[in-house]
């Protein structure tokens, strides 16, 4: 009887033992040179999924939580200056702000001055970030141009945007953007629609008074 026929006619237990022995023999005959190894590069622990390489987590240099400290504010002739409307007060730098202004108006209202180097992300990106803050959808380039107004100042033309949220409790934001001296300045007023509307004439005069530190 041939071995194959003998194995086929054997008991199930015998066939199992023989198969196991054959497998062990095959494994024993494999040399280490026959086994290939793959090296998997390690992912740095600080990597943020989906974030561009070399970009802070928040994606905006100088933004809170972005891993980049706020750049030093311009001084002297390169700094922006303004004239406070009657009754307004000012406090110095804090966090990302170059200054915080307070209008003599009742209700929720916040006025800030921020400066960042270079284009600071561009006009469209900043405007859409502001709109998102009050629950409005983003604009495209064509709608951006239609929404932009210009206020003339001694420091140059200020692009001004005025947005009001939807819904019963309305928020309103008026923001001026000025690129001068290699920096971008943001003068922004945000709060409930009523107080912002009351302070708007003074805020417009504030924008008109903008000038560089060496201007009269």
Could you give all domains of the chain from N- to C-terminal order, each with its CATH number?
A: 3-34 (no CATH), 38-69 (no CATH), 76-212 (3.40.1000.10)
Query: What was the pLDDT predicted at 81?
Result: 93
Average pLDDT of the segment spanning 72-79 = 67
Query: Over 50: is that where the pLDDT of 53 sits?
Result: no
pLDDT band at 72 (very low <50, low <70, confident <90, very high): low
- From the number of C-beta atoms within 10 Å of its C-beta (0-12, 13-18, 19+), residue 47 rates as exposed
Q: What is the pLDDT of residues 19-51, one digit of tens each?
A: 444 444 444 444 444 444 444 333 333 332 222
pLDDT band at 215 (very low <50, low <70, confident <90, very high): low
Query: What was the pLDDT predicted at 100?
Result: 95
How much is the mean pLDDT over the chain? 75
- Are β-strands 171-180 and 80-81 bridged in parallel, bridged antiparallel, or unpaired? unpaired
User: For residue 168, what is the enclosing H or E element?
Assistant: none
Q: Look at the pTM and tell me if it is higher than 0.85.
A: no
Supply the DSSP string of 91-140, one letter for each residue. Answer: E--BTTBSEEEE-S-SSSEEEEEEEEETTTT-HHHHHHHHHHHTTPPP--
* Three-state DSSP class for residue 206: helix
* DSSP secondary structure code for residue 76 in this structure: G
* DSSP secondary structure code for residue 34 in this structure: G
Spatial distance between the Cα atoms of 148 and 141, rounded to a whole number of angstroms: 11
């Amino acid at each position: 009887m041939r071995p194959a026929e003998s194995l086929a006619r054997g008991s199930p237990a015998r066939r199992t033992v023989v198969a196991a022995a054959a497998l062990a023999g095959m494994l024993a005959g494999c040399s280490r040179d026959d086994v290939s190894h793959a090296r998997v590069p390690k992912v740095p622990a600080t990597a943020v999924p989906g974030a561009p390489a070399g970009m802070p987590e928040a994606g905006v240099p100088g933004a809170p939580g972005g891993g980049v400290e706020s750049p030093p504010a311009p001084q002297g002739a390169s700094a922006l200056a303004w004239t406070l409307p009657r009754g307004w007060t000012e406090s110095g730098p804090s966090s990302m702000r170059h200054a915080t202004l307070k209008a003599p108006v009742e209700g929720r209202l916040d006025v800030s001055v921020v400066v960042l180097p270079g284009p600071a992300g561009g006009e469209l990106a900043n405007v859409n970030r502001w709109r998102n803050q009050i629950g409005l959808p983003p604009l495209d380039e064509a709608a951006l141009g239609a929404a932009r107004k210009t206020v003339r100042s001694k420091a140059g033309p200020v692009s001004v945007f005025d947005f009001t949220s939807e819904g019963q409790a309305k928020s309103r934001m008026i923001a001026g953007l000025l690129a001068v001296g290699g920096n971008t300045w943001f003068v922004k007023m945000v709060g409930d629609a009523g107080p912002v509307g009351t302070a708007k004439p003074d805020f417009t005069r504030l924008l008109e008074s903008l000038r560089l530190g060496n201007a009269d």
